[in-house]
Amino acid sequence: MDREIYAAIEEAHARGDVVVLATIVGTKGSTPRKAGSKMLIYPDGKIRGTIGGGCGENDVWLAAQEVAASGRPRIVRVDLTDDYAVEAGMVCGGVMDVLVEPLPPDAN
């Protein structure tokens, strides 16, 4: 999967697009994906890859929009242990920390 993500970054940069890379940098408890999993977010909102899907992935997608606009990376904590996660049908019950970072074309 990483090869696909890196190839997609190169293609986006060749077009002059700023993309945002979300990478799980830490987990605790049961999570849908583990550290190192990546998701690429394009300027039009499309994604490639996954960090687990569901509401948590949506939270990271929303953060990616802010990161793209500001140019500043951030860590997003995805907590799958709260009542909301249970109500949403997530049964993992863990926590993921996700680095969300902009990758402008000149960053190569």
Residue-level pLDDT at 80: 81
- Separation in Å, CA 45 to CA 16, 19, 26, 58, 80: 16, 10, 24, 11, 23
- Comparing 82 with 10, the larger pLDDT belongs to 10
DSSP letter at 21? E
Q: What is the pTM of this model?
A: 0.87
Strands of 95-103's sheet, edge to edge?
47-49, 38-41, 19-28, 95-103, 74-79
Query: What is the chain's Cα-based Rg?
Result: 14
Which pLDDT tens digit goes with each residue over 67-99?
Answer: 999 999 999 999 887 655 556 555 567 899 999
Statement: residue 107 has pLDDT above 90: no
